[in-house]
Structure 1
Amino acid sequence: MNTITFNDNRTQVQVEGGTIISELVDAAYANNTQVVTANCNCVGVMGALLGGGYSRMMGERGFMVDNVLSLRVVLASGELVDVTPTSHPDLWWALRGAGANFGIVTSAVFRAFPTAPAQNGAWLGSLIFADDQLEDVVAAINNLTLTSKMAIFLYYATTGAPDYTPAIIVFPFYLGNNTAEARQAFAPVLDIGPESDGTTFTPYNEVNEGSDSFCVAGNRKVSYGAAEDQLDPATWRAIWNEYTSFVDRYGGEAVGNSTVLMEAYSLGTAEQLGDSSSAYAWRSTNRFNTVAIAWYADQGLDAPANAWAGQIREHWRSTSGLQTNATYINFAFGDETLEDIYGGNVGRLQQLKGVYDPDNHFGQFFPLDG
């Protein structure tokens, strides 16, 4: 169930339901093309798609849900249907943002973007900043205008074994092969003066490798996410202090893989399509997505791990600049309200749930059965 088939001119690709991101990226690169995917190689293509599908290249092309052309779906009735904007308009809308509630996607057809080999990649890499630069870094990211080729990430992570030293890492992304243009675009961050600069042009099939640490199997990974319209430097200082204290208290070997992450993307293309274009509710409001991941092996750390990550989420929510709480479903913990996940679309989604899955066969995560 992981066959990938491009059409003759490489502008469309059919992807089977068991395909993971790395398989699709490798196939696209081998065909001198690009496909809008999520950023983590080990994630299933359909899982990322059905929740919305943020992508590093979404500034140019929109969410994953904006780049799918058709979906083959097994419904709760057992019927196999091909869903398109014209064949099943309500179901098409619902699947793209709340899809896990409505069926099993066995394959999908996506847009593909033929790309010359010399341009098939991006300028990216890690910038390491000192503790006393943190407020300047957060303010610069908050004030940065992301043009269509840009995305930026902020991590709190450790250096790993043996020292597990906490680090402040910024990871800029600029689509295509133009280092001078990329460095100019990110000048407000670069001008702060990172302690190290690992940015370089990277081929498209290697672009996601920076996220491979998240794909390591095993252990316990407790994740609490939130969305924001603004980044508050004082909040991020408090979170940094709590992150370093968490690592110090329980030790690097026990919790040193824990991470705090912020993602920011250019939203212009996604916003142009309009909030009503899919069931993903937050395309015009959430500038930043954040998640705190407590990563550990000892079950005895469940309580402090949840308390730590949950408290970080509360910091974000309290200074988000949003009118209500909001969370990208693929960053959610599970205790959020339906409105946190689906926004103002809950009522329409529940009505459609009653049509397509009245017995709630597909209700594993944030079920809409009412």
Structure 2
Amino acid sequence: MTNRPALVVHARGTADVQDAVRAARDHDLPLSVRGGGHDWLGRGVRDGALVIDLAGMRRVEVDARAGVATVAGGATATDLVGAASPHGLSAVTGTVGGVGVAGLTLGGGYGLLNGRFGLALDNLLAADVVLADGRAVTADATHEAELFWAIRGGGGNFGVVTSMRHRLYRVDPILAGMIFYPLPQAATVLDRLNEILSTAPDELTMAVAMLTDPGGAPGVALIPAWSGDPASGGAHIDRLQRLGSPAFAKVGPTTCVDMLRANDEQGETIGHHVASRTRSLPHFTPGTVSALVEAAATFTSPLSRVLCGQFHGAAARVPVESTAFGLRREHIMATIIGWWPPGDAEPHQTWADTVSEALAGDALPGGYPNGLGPADTEQIAHAYGPNAARLRAAKTHYDPSNTFTATPLP
């Protein structure tokens, strides 16, 4: 699919965004907002639309004393973490540095610090938002409180976020890396991993990936991050390395900046194509394990993978009604990624659909809104859990003309 916008506005500040929103309204143009430009579904660049490109708004200012970063709407995770690092601070982001902070945060923000500090959206203190009528407002706990509730999980459906305030933490160094088990061991490793995940302290958050090693052999990679006392982390990593016989293991002290950089290096595939699906899993059930092993055994491209992020600890203790994010029970967020160089898309899209359907039987209702497209109607209907009606009411109030359609609402 190739989307060709009618017009692109390269915004440099809030006034540019306001002018663009009003121009789209006055000329009856559909509107989309491009932040980090990482969305595999292409929602940042709508066909025939006026696109507001925030790439020129990447400034990050750090108040080290207050432990707060002010982040412009086009800043990436690397911009944020890189600005905080010289002050001995870091932020809750995702796992890839090139992802836009705004889009990640508004939809949720899974990452390797979630167990200790919650989702990215749980660390949003305030946001400056340009609404559909062109007004600029500030949303926080005491100003435009319903808008502040809605944008924390409701995605970019309510306006253009031109600036945010994020809470920062002192966490570096962390203990992180990768432990890779060949595919014949994957079922046993995933089954044994359940016990570790169910009892993991907040300081340990895991990602699990079905992927290929540098030689092209498929397997399962355990990607832990220990953000607590460095002296206590070794025992947890040792348990992960004893789940089988690893083909290789590289875990050691690192920083959040370097962890993001390492993941960016693994994903340098500009110009490639992606088919993405998402499922929320209660844990690694026998059916889930079987589906994941089969997914790796049938990769149609060595770039394809299934990424599974652990949701637990602090993120799971936030009351579900506190933000629009609709799933606060412990779970595993699986992202199925068919990834291939230019060429025939059909086998890769079919692979992604097949894996998604194989996981559906044991999956929780709904899915991660940041990974759902317009065709995922059944999952969208449950994606916001008990918050759906309140979220629809907020949408009607703040954007009755449905100007902003960044993520699907039920």
TM-score range, shorter chain: 0.7 to 0.9
Q: Report if aligned partners of 2:212, 2:218 keep a CA contact under 8 Å in 1.
A: yes
Q: What are the Cα deviations for residues 55-82 of structure 1, in whole angstroms up to 9, with x where unaligned?
A: 2112221111111111000000110001
Please tell me the residue identity of whatever aligns with 1:290.
A
- Partners of 1:131 and 1:78 lie apart in 2 by 53
Higher relative contact order (CA 8 A, sep 6+): 1
Q: What's the counterpart of residue 251 of structure 1?
A: none
Q: What are the Cα deviations for residues 287-346 of structure 1, in whole angstroms up to 9, with x where unaligned?
A: 10111111113442x2222221111112222123x3xx2211223344223323222322
Where in structure 2 are there 5+ consecutive unaligned residues?
A: 1-56
- Partners of 1:201 and 1:327 lie apart in 2 by 33
Please tell me the residue identity of whatever aligns with 1:278.
T
Cα deviation for residue 30 of structure 1 reads: 1.3
The percentage of counterpart residues that share the same residue type is 26
Cα pair distance change 1:277/1:198, threshold 3 Å: same
Q: Report if aligned partners of 1:177, 1:201 keep a CA contact under 8 Å in 2.
A: no
Counterpart mapping for 1:239-250 below 5 A: 239-247=292-300
Please tell me the residue identity of whatever aligns with 2:261.
E
Cα deviation for residue 95 of structure 1 reads: 0.6
- Partners of 2:299 and 2:122 lie apart in 1 by 39
Q: Report if aligned partners of 1:120, 1:177 keep a CA contact under 8 Å in 2.
A: no
Mapped pair 1:225 → 2:278: yes
Please tell me the residue identity of whatever aligns with 1:185.
H
Counterpart mapping for 1:1-370 below 5 A: 1-7=57-63, 9-113=65-169, 115=170, 120-144=172-196, 145-160=199-214, 163-176=215-228, 178=230, 180-192=231-243, 193-212=245-264, 213-247=266-300, 255-265=301-311, 267-284=312-329, 286-300=330-344, 302-320=345-363, 322=364, 325-337=365-377, 338-367=380-409
Query: More deviation in 227-236 or 238-247?
Result: 238-247
Q: How many residues align?
A: 348
Where in structure 1 are there 5+ consecutive unaligned residues?
A: 248-254
RMSD: 2.0
SS at match of 1:102: coil
Q: What are the Cα deviations for residues 28-57 of structure 1, in whole angstroms up to 9, with x where unaligned?
A: 111111211121100000010000112211
Q: Report if aligned partners of 1:258, 1:294 keep a CA contact under 8 Å in 2.
A: yes
Please tell me the residue identity of whatever aligns with 1:16.
A
Q: What are the Cα deviations for residues 219-265 of structure 1, in whole angstroms up to 9, with x where unaligned?
A: 11001110011212453234323432334xxxxxxx21111111114
Q: Report if aligned partners of 1:226, 1:332 keep a CA contact under 8 Å in 2.
A: no
Please tell me the residue identity of whatever aligns with 2:267.
F
Please tell me the residue identity of whatever aligns with 2:177.
G
Q: Report if aligned partners of 1:121, 1:207 keep a CA contact under 8 Å in 2.
A: no
Q: Report if aligned partners of 1:95, 1:279 keep a CA contact under 8 Å in 2.
A: yes
TM-score (normalised: structure 1):
0.88
Cα pair distance change 1:154/1:220, threshold 3 Å: same
SS at match of 1:37: coil
Q: Report if aligned partners of 1:153, 1:261 keep a CA contact under 8 Å in 2.
A: yes
Cα pair distance change 1:333/1:167, threshold 3 Å: farther
SS at match of 1:264: strand
- Partners of 1:330 and 1:141 lie apart in 2 by 26
- Partners of 2:339 and 2:182 lie apart in 1 by 24
SS at match of 1:256: coil
Cα deviation for residue 186 of structure 1 reads: 4.0
Q: What's the counterpart of residue 250 of structure 1?
A: none
Cα deviation for residue 94 of structure 1 reads: 0.5
- Partners of 2:239 and 2:294 lie apart in 1 by 24
- Partners of 1:341 and 1:238 lie apart in 2 by 22
TM-score (normalised: structure 2):
0.80
Please tell me the residue identity of whatever aligns with 1:232.
T
Cα pair distance change 1:211/1:41, threshold 3 Å: same
SS at match of 2:383: helix
Q: Report if aligned partners of 1:140, 1:189 keep a CA contact under 8 Å in 2.
A: no
- Partners of 2:200 and 2:370 lie apart in 1 by 23
Q: What's the counterpart of residue 252 of structure 1?
A: none
